[in-house]
Every structure is written in C-alpha cells, then in structure tokens.
Amino acid sequence: MRLTKFTDYGLRTLIYLALAPDRLAMIAEIAEAYEISENHMVKVVHRLGQAGLVETLRGRHGGLRLACPAEQIGLGDVVRALEQDLALAECQGGGGCAIRGACRLESILDEALAALLAVLDRYTLADVATPQSSVLLRKLKIMAKDADVRP
C-alpha cells in the first residue's frame, strides 16, 4: 500500500526546499542529496510546478523554490496532487471487478482513504521541515549559498 515513488520523491523535494527557503536549489543537488536519479527528479519537479507547489526561476542564477510558505502547503494536498490515482483497490480506481457497483467494500475503502487523507490534512510541510531543522540540513548537506539567495 505504497504511495508512488513519484509522490515519495515529490515530498522529499518539498522537504529539501523548505529547509532553505531563502535560496534557489538545483534539481541536480536535490537528486544527489537523496541519491535519486536526476531524470526522475526532473519529472517530479515538473509535476510539482504544475501543481503550483514550486516555482522555477530561469537564468544563470536561477533555480527552484517553494511557490508559497511551507506553512501553507498541506501534506494531504501534496498527496492529492502527486498520486495519479488515489485508490486502494481497482474498484475505487474505476477498474473492473465482477461485483463492482454491488459490493460494499468500495465505500468502506473510500472511508478508509478519507481517514488517511484527513490525518495528512492536519499537517503542513512546515511540520516536517523548517530552516531550523538542523539535523535535516546537515544530513542533506544544505548550506546557505550567498550566490543563490532569493533576489
């Protein structure tokens, strides 16, 4: 019952960006910090951009940053934006099952999924990562870089 790798990496990217909101990050450095393929990361960042969660500034001093403060990014909304298909079983995803439509399991799974998302809705990205999260900053080797400071 895993979140997709896409959502997992999206959450990690947002955590990275929330740790140093005053600088612009490069996709390559985030990929390196988490030891994730940069190709994967490009797609994840593209989706985060489409979802309005991050913004990319182009140019020589360009890079990536959160589109709004971490306090305003709810974890439930991140999961809703990144999971392509929020369904615990085929029936919830619209897939075929011989008893679909007549079986009560689908509504029970709906209720279970709603309970999961309700927990995530109680937290924001700021509950996971802030510029004061010194252990996370150290583990991800994030340092303030004057050259990258937000204009």
Binding site for its own copies (CB under 8 A): 1-4, 7-8, 11-12, 15, 33-35, 75, 79, 83, 85-90, 93, 96-99, 102-105, 108, 111-113, 115-120, 123, 127-129, 133, 135-136, 139-140
Shortest distance, CB of residue 76 to its own copies, whole angstroms?
9
Residue 26: name the closest of 18, 35, 37, 17 by CA.
17
CB atoms inside a 10 Å sphere around CB 74 = 17
Nearer to its own copies (CB atom), residue 57 or residue 114: 114
Judged by CB, which is closer to its own copies: 19, or 62?
A: 19
Question: Two tokens at 107?
Answer: 């509504």
Q: How far is the CB of 59 from its own copies (least distance, A)?
A: 28
**What is the distance between the alpha carbons of residues 146 and 151, in angstroms, rounded to a whole number?**
11
Give the number of residues written for the chain.
151
Question: Which of the 8 DSSP states describes residue 69?
Answer: -
Q: Kindly state the smallest distance separating residue 129's Cβ from its own copies, in Å.
A: 8
